[in-house]
């Protein structure tokens, strides 16, 4: 039995949430372990910002529970003690689907740490079933590796993703493109997938779409663009822009495209950081937006202006994206929404 058989579908992220789930960072899994204290402070800012809008459940390794809980006294934050390897709950957590009666279920995708990049990942692969059991939500087990950051839906039958990630042989080497597409449709109940080509330069996730483009509403897409031909992201983003301009969604609409200019390049040692304003997160009544400061101040303000104009009824709540990204990802990568129950 699959979600599509029972008319469950993946709702748009901007629909009402019951709460947000996040996982607390683990020192042993840090890309830059010397930055652990800074990253934890960044997560504290992120969790507190989300808690201004909706309740938060924070997944914490049991040994860290006492010291982490002290950071959030008096806030709308509760805790789920659960062993995990890493902090990117968007990617290893469940995808919640909802039917016409407002009943919820959860998709348990296989997780292999972004194509086997970071060992071990056994605890992370067990997180989604543990969350669904804790929430007493029905579980559907999907027969493929997929991270939540690699897909984005409009709630009306259309999905955005990238070939670089979803078709990467380090995820599902034994499945064809057609088989992958059918599984994704069966477990999210989308009718049409718009395939972008590549994700941003330097992205260790092999091109997650949540750094590239997202729906702002049905028929409306925001994309981060680069206009400097000397930048690796120029060819990538211009190609994806052409794909979106040529695309038609599941309802037969041409897409309205909203562009956000990328922030200036920032290196951490020899590694380019994958900075993206598209890695924002919808909360009830607001948007949590990573900003980067320094040489990006002008671009930060531009991004805030574009998002405020696009979402005039939402509060744009900016946080320090440079703190969280030292763990390897950013705001959207850390979060997983639980849709409100009808």
Pair 171, 135: CB distance under 8 Å: no
Cα separation, 273 vs 90, in Å, equals: 19
Strands 286-291 and 281-283: antiparallel
Residue with tokens 């402070």: 41
| Widest distance between CA atoms in the chain | 52
- Given the structure tokens 């079933």, which residue do they identify? 129
- CA dist 75 and 55 (Å) reads 9
Q: Which of 165, 214, 226, 333 is catalytic?
A: 333
Name which of 123, 111, 46, 19 is nearest 329 in CA terms.
46
- For 325, the 3-state DSSP assignment is helix
Closest by alpha carbon to 45, among 21, 72, 69?
72
Dist. CA 72–CA 226, nearest whole Å: 38
| Pairing mode, strands 104-110 and 138-145 | parallel
H or E segment to which residue 7 belongs? none
333 is catalytic: yes
Provide the 10 A C-beta neighbour count for residue 133: 11
Q: Which residues are catalytic?
A: 333
């Amino acid at each position: 039995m699959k979600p599509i058989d029972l008319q469950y579908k993946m709702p748009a992220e901007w629909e009402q949430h019951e709460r947000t789930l996040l996982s607390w960072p683990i020192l042993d899994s840090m890309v830059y372990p010397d930055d652990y204290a800074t990253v934890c402070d960044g997560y504290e800012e992120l969790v507190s910002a989300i808690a201004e809008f909706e309740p938060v459940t924070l997944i914490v390794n049991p040994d860290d529970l006492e010291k982490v809980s002290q950071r959030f006294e008096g806030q709308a934050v509760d805790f789920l003690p659960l062993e995990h390897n890493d902090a990117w709950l968007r990617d290893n957590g469940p995808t919640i689907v909802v039917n016409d009666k407002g009943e919820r279920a959860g998709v348990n995708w296989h997780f292999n740490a972004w194509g086997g990049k970071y060992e071990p990942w056994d605890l992370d692969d067990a997180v989604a079933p543990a969350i669904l059991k804790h929430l007493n939500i029905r579980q559907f087990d999907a027969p493929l590796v997929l991270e939540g950051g690699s897909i984005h839906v409009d709630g009306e039958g259309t999905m955005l993703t990238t070939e670089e990630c979803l078709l990467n042989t380090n995820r599902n080497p034994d499945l064809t493109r057609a088989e992958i597409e059918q599984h994704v449709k069966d477990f999210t109940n989308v009718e049409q997938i718009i395939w972008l080509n590549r994700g941003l330069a330097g992205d260790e996730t092999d091109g997650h779409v949540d750094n590239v483009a997202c729906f702002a509403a049905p028929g409306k897409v925001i994309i981060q663009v680069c206009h400097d031909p000397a930048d690796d992201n120029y060819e990538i983003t211009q190609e994806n822009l052409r794909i979106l301009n040529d695309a038609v969604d599941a309802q037969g609409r041409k897409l309205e495209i909203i562009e956000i200019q990328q922030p200036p390049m920032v290196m951490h040692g020899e590694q380019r950081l994958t900075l993206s304003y598209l890695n924002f997160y919808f909360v009830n009544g607001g948007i949590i937006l990573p900003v980067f400061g320094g040489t990006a101040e002008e671009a930060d303000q531009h991004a805030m202006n574009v998002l405020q104009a696009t979402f005039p009824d939402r509060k744009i709540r900016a946080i320090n994206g440079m703190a969280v990204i030292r763990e390897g990802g950013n705001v959207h990568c850390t979060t997983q929404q639980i849709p409100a129950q009808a």
